[in-house]
Amino acid sequence: MYDYLIVGAGLFGAVFAREATLAGKSCLVIDKRSHIAGNIYTEDVAGIPVHRYGAHIFHTNNKTVWDYVNRYAEFNRYTNSPVANYKGELYNLPFNMNTFNKMWGVITPAEAEAKIREQRAAHYTAEPKNLEEQAINLVGVDIYEKLIKGYTEKQWGRPCTELPAFIIQRLPVRLTFDNNYFNALYQGIPTKGYTALVAALLDGIEVRTDTDYLADKAALDALAQRVIYTGPIDAYFDYKLGALQYRSVRFETETLDCPNYQGNAVINYTDAETPYTRIIEHKHFVFGSTEPGTQTVISREYSAEWQPGDEPYYPVNDAANGALYARYKALADAESRVVFGGRLGEYKYYDMDKVIESALACAEKELH
């Protein structure tokens, strides 16, 4: 009998499995997909590492986490500098002096600050009731209309006037010419891809793919003393309290016979008319290899309401779903042999460094 059955070979499950193994515990890791690494899975297409389930850029201010991942993979020095395309107008993200110069022609930080202040004041709402009012309070009408409204409504499938204000408590506004999207000390992508990182974490540990835990729960539970479950918490309980809501993402990926399609890894399409939210050009994630070979791989991303059978990506963190999750959490806490973790097990949007922090904390609690 194994000490731990770990359901899900993504980042949380792999980190926990590595820590448990180092502590002398026996682990069986299973995943219903045909591959390891969950949503950070990367695969080689035309010699290009392709992020099958959307772009992932590792970034963190936590040196412990950065040192941890660097034990298992070498990282490049990729810096996330997305571009917004609004009806053919290109703007740098996050909002910075390059953005403000293109938007208003301002040259100095003082001019930009004055323009933003003027825009905010013209439409200020003392107590914003929705995302639209909150965004205008933060950055004014021009940036909201061109760079936030259309993109956000596509992403969430709802008008900004129907989205809660707390979704954007703050927006990054930089009065410098800095296109680095993340405020993180450490940033990069594994030089051999995320699949290689997860494979290194799982090295020497038994892994079974194409294994659906919920379809054969009793037999699989019987194999181990304890279970680490990283699947959807509502699915574990057979949706008996109702289904939690997610947003899903559909990808259209194609290999093109040109060396360079868009000149940047990430371009967001912020108008409402373009059906996709962004286009990823995967080769630009490989630092120093802007134009290798004669082909490139692009992925268009379409945001969609989650339906059973789809991959859940982003929890819809409104009040109703928060209340439903709290009820499922109470059921989970009563499961004496099962620990729930990760973005689906905790119904929480996690950046990768936070997943690792959470998995390490879980391992510390379980193993010591």
- Catalytic (active-site) positions: 170, 174, 247, 278, 301, 349, 351
Pairing of strands 206-208, 27-30: parallel
Contact 164, 132 (CB under 8 A): no
Phi, psi (deg, nearest 5) at residue 65 = -65, -40
Dihedral sign computed on CA atoms, order 222, 226, 231, 233: positive
The CA-atom distances, in angstroms, between 273 and each of 277, 302, 330 are: 10, 13, 43
Residue 240: Cβ within 10 Å count: 9
The candidate with the shortest Cα–Cα distance to 46, out of 249, 190, 253, is 253
